[in-house]
Amino acid sequence: MNSTKLMTAAAVASIFATGALAQVNLTAETASPGGATHLSPAHMTEIAGTQGIANIQLAEGQTLTNSIQNVAEGKTDIAGTPHILPFLMSRGVGPYGSLGAEKGAELASNLRAINPFTLGVFLLYAYDAKGVGGWDDLEGRKIYNGPPRGGALTNARSMIQIVAGLKDGEGYEGLQTNWGQGTALVTSGEPDAVVLPELFPGSRLTSVTAAGNMTAWSMPKEAYESEAMQKYMVAPGSAPFTAVAADIEAALGEGWTVISEDETFRAFATIGGNVVHKDMDGDLVYKLVSAYVATLDDLKAKAPYGDTVNFDNPMLGMCGANPVQYHPAAARAWRDAGYKLDDCAVAE
């Protein structure tokens, strides 16, 4: 065979190889658009398709509690999650109480991390027209605190209980709705206040301000430094968060007031990432994560909060009590790109 034919044959083989690779079909589940939880898998979906790695069908607006159980059961390939959910699943408690400890631990052991992100920073905010006075003025109020199930609801309820000493359904009336309906609920005026994980700036906060001026409150210093909150903030899925209150107010934009007792904004962040089943093909995982890591600058540039949500911090929340470890192929992709991953964060 002459050189021209060899080149042609090689080109055809390359086309067919790329085409065959692109025929890998995957499913993914994530939250509604507007945050890192959606942007991360949406970016992965885009690059996987354009680079011929896989076709990913991304389902938006999902309840992540269900999504990671689908991954653990082999029904979905990729899902976003705060680290608190695999932790609760591994113990068969909270939203996974019906599974029981043994089944929950079995399912949680099937989950493997592939990339990190910060889902949001929990804070209290309300329309000025509601006349809410802050954390000590929530008793008897209607508070929108998350979707019907999931890590966000668990965290919001815990934050309100630790800071204000109030339980959902007893000290206040919790309102829940799916993420996609959250903005409509807030602007309807039904909730007196909101406790949710947010980004600065974030699309939901920008949207709700169109209906009136709003105030956000820092967690009181005493509550932030309490033993209960300090323990909670280092549990899987959470991390302490502080910033200059004026910087948060500036990031939120016109129509917002941020209140803090000493000019420091205190809260906690929800951290997590995307997970896959432990049995996902290693070559596929490596290609997906390598392409994702190589295009992190493009990912960050897609949103104003891109540099603030730890897209490039693969050790975010790993090890310790967090039961989820990296898929070995994902860890190899991060390490090959020059990132550090401790051995405790990588499954064998």
**How many of the other CB atoms lie within 10 Å of CB of 106?**
15
**What was the pLDDT predicted at 15?**
37
Q: What is the dihedral of CA 327, 295, 48, 109, to 10 degrees?
A: 20
Q: Where are the beta strands (DSSP E) in the chain?
A: 25-29, 55-59, 78-82, 111-127, 142-144, 173-175, 193-198, 214-217, 238-244, 256-259, 264-277, 325-326
pTM: 0.78
Q: Which long-range contacts (CB under 8 A, 24 or more apart) does 66-69 make?
A: 66/29, 66/149, 67/29, 67/30, 68/111, 68/275, 69/96, 69/107
Residue reference for tokens 């090890």: 319
Our measurement of the distance from residue 45's CA atom to the centroid of its chain's CA atoms, rounded to an integer in Å, reads 16
User: pLDDT-based confidence at 4, cuts 50/70/90?
Assistant: very low
Residue reference for tokens 């790993």: 318
Measure Cα distances from 276 to 20, 247, 323 in Å: 22, 36, 14
What percent of the chain is predicted at pLDDT more than 90?
Answer: 73
- Residue ranges per structural domain of the chain: 3-118+273-345, 119-270
**How many of the other CB atoms lie within 10 Å of CB of 229?**
22
Per residue in 225-263, pLDDT (tens digit) is 999 999 999 888 888 999 999 989 998 888 999 999 999
Q: Which fold has domain 119-270?
A: D-Maltodextrin-Binding Protein; domain 2 (3.40.190)
The conformation of residue 219, written as its DSSP 8-state character, comes to: P
**What was the pLDDT predicted at 13?**
38
- The sign of the CA dihedral 85, 90, 92, 93 is negative
Residue type, 300: K
Task: Tell me the pLDDT of the chain averaged across its residues.
Answer: 90
**What was the pLDDT predicted at 245?**
94
Q: What are phi and psi of 315, to 5 degrees?
A: -90, 5
For the segment 115-142, the average pLDDT, to the nearest whole number, is 96
Per residue in 167-195, pLDDT (tens digit) is 999 999 999 998 888 899 999 999 999 99
Which of 3.10.130.10, 3.40.190.10, 3.30.465.10, 3.40.50.300 would CATH assign to domain 3-118+273-345?
A: 3.40.190.10
Our measurement of the distance from residue 347's CA atom to the centroid of its chain's CA atoms, rounded to an integer in Å, reads 21
Q: Which long-range contacts (CB under 8 A, 24 or more apart) does 240-249 make?
A: 240/268, 240/269, 241/121, 241/266, 241/267, 241/268, 241/269, 242/266, 242/267, 245/218, 248/200, 248/216, 249/216
The reply to whether 119-270 shares the fold of 3-118+273-345 is yes
Per residue in 17-74, pLDDT (tens digit) is 444 445 799 999 998 888 899 999 999 999 999 999 999 999 998 989 999 999 999 9
Burial status of residue 170 (CB atoms within 10 A of its CB: 0-12, 13-18, 19 or more): exposed
